[in-house]
Amino acid sequence: MPEIFRATPKTGRILKSAREKRTSPRARGYDPKWDRRSAAYRRANPFCAVCLEEDRLVAAAVVDHKFPVQDGGDVHCDDDGLWGLCLLHHGWKARLEDFARRTGQLDLIVRWCDEPETRPQLRGDIHHGPGPT
Mean pLDDT (whole number) for 34-61? 95
Residue spans per domain, the chain: 4-118
> Percent of the chain scored above 90 by pLDDT?
58
**97: nearest Cα among 107, 88, 106, 86:** 106
Can you tell me the distance from the alpha carbon of 32 to that of 106, in angstroms, rounded to the nearest whole number? 28
Which pLDDT tens digit goes with each residue over 81-101?
999 999 999 999 999 999 999
